[in-house]
């Protein structure tokens, strides 16, 4: 059983920054992969980024265009998503999730999910 909780969402103006956190209930080393996804009404859940909790290998969706950075803090059992130069199209509920295998873009490959945190980018 893996429990994940997201935090750090909120309202930010276009061009601003937020740092999302995904804290696990225990050591993140053994859970293998943590991914960030986002979803808005009428759209399918899409992959944003993921990281191997064992070696730090990372993946970013092309749509991010270098604006986001994923990282991990093993001591805090936490994965972060630093979001910079935010756009209105980044508005979504952001979820973190766990997979037993390598980074994948398909949400069906993830087993445990946090409840999500809302990010709203608006003037």
Q: What is the pLDDT along the chain (123 residues), one digit of tens a residue?
A: 789 999 999 999 999 999 999 999 987 878 899 999 999 989 999 999 999 999 999 999 998 889 999 999 999 999 999 999 999 999 999 999 999 988 888 999 999 999 999 999 999
Strands (E), the chain: 4-7, 10-12, 18-24, 33-39, 46-52, 58-60, 68-73, 78-83, 92-99, 112-113, 117-121
pLDDT of residue 26: 80
């Amino acid at each position: 059983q893996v429990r994940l909780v997201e935090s750090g969402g909120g309202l930010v103006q276009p061009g601003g920054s937020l740092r999302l956190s995904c804290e696990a209930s225990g050591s993140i080393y053994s859970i293998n992969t943590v991914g960030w996804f986002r979803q808005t009404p009428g759209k399918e859940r899409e992959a944003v980024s993921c990281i191997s909790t064992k070696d730090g290998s990372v993946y970013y969706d092309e749509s991010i265009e270098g604006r986001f950075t994923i990282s991990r803090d093993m001591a805090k059992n936490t994965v972060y998503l630093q979001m910079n130069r935010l756009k209105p199209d980044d508005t979504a509920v952001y979820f973190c999730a766990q997979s037993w295998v390598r980074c994948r873009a398909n949400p069906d490959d993830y087993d445990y999910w946090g409840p999500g945190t809302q990010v709203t980018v608006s003037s």
